[in-house]
Copies of this chain bind each other. A is one copy, B any other.
């Protein structure tokens, strides 16, 4: 594949930023990649692992001459980082992100863009429960979706460059209104994480005659709760930034659980089988 941009700066060279860098490098889509990170150990590791070509702890320095700046820090920090770099962005620079929440991030970051620069919100639908540059790998986005969330303020050329970069990183690009994105992902991603954390919390603190209930966990429980091993800071930020949509999703889930609880309480075999069958059909439908 041919080069799309000469110089990329990745701020937050963790799982997502590092994998984006690795994938673009492997595709030959970028020339030089500069890494910026507040975690010095992680930053040094990103350099020594060859994830990036140059490093600096100073974001303002790091964005010098960049054509694209990709911000992949926890979502609450994205607007802070963009505020910090805004005065130093070269003319024509595209700023984009990989944050899991879009509405608040896009609104704040767009407002921070200096004239001639454009913000393009993005969210790759790929990840693992690991973090840091060492967890990054080029194939993370292969065949996965990347959702870009342009607004009427988004420059068409900038959108196009980000779409080409994501495609060369292996992703299938689609576009969505930021608020719509947040309502969808409140349901399909943020709610399941909240439920998994709450479940592990409940089972971990349950008192069954003083026994450690978790020692009886089998494969089902382990798979079911794997996402509760995700980074607490990342999920603190996601729940804070997508609060309204997430509260709605939690309430919808609580209503489903309350309905199922009622059917158990009533000892109603037909109503229970019906509920489980409907859920199984939804689940089997996504295989």
Binding site for B on A (CB under 8 A): 76, 125-127, 144-145, 180, 183-185, 187-189, 191-206, 208-209, 211, 213-218, 220-230, 232-233, 235-236, 239-240, 243, 246-247, 249-250, 252-257, 259-261, 264-265, 267, 269, 272-273, 275-280, 282-287
Contacts and interface: CB of A to CB of B under 8 A. Distances in A.
B228 A283 contact: yes
A14 to B, nearest CB: 17
Contact of A211 (B184, B221, B230, B247): B184
Contact of A236 (B202, B259, B269, B287): B269
Contacts of A253: 198-199, 202-203
A220 B250 contact: no
B273 A236 contact: yes
Which 7 pairs show the lowest CB-CB distances between chains A and B? Answer: A204-B282, A232-B276, A202-B256, A198-B257, A202-B253, A197-B279, A236-B272
7 contacts: A187-B202, A188-B216, A199-B253, A222-B287, A223-B224, A240-B272, A247-B261
How many copies the complex holds: the figure is: 2
Contacts of A265: 243, 247
Contact of A209 (B180, B200, B236, B247): B180
Contact of A201 (B183, B239, B279, B285): B279
Contacts of A252: 202, 205-206
A233 to B, nearest CB: 6
A282 B215 CA distance: 11
Given A195-B199, A199-B253, A276-B235, A225 B283 contact: yes
B236 A279 contact: no
A166 B240 CA distance: 50
A225 to B, nearest CB: 5
Given A201-B279, A204-B282, A220 B189 contact: yes
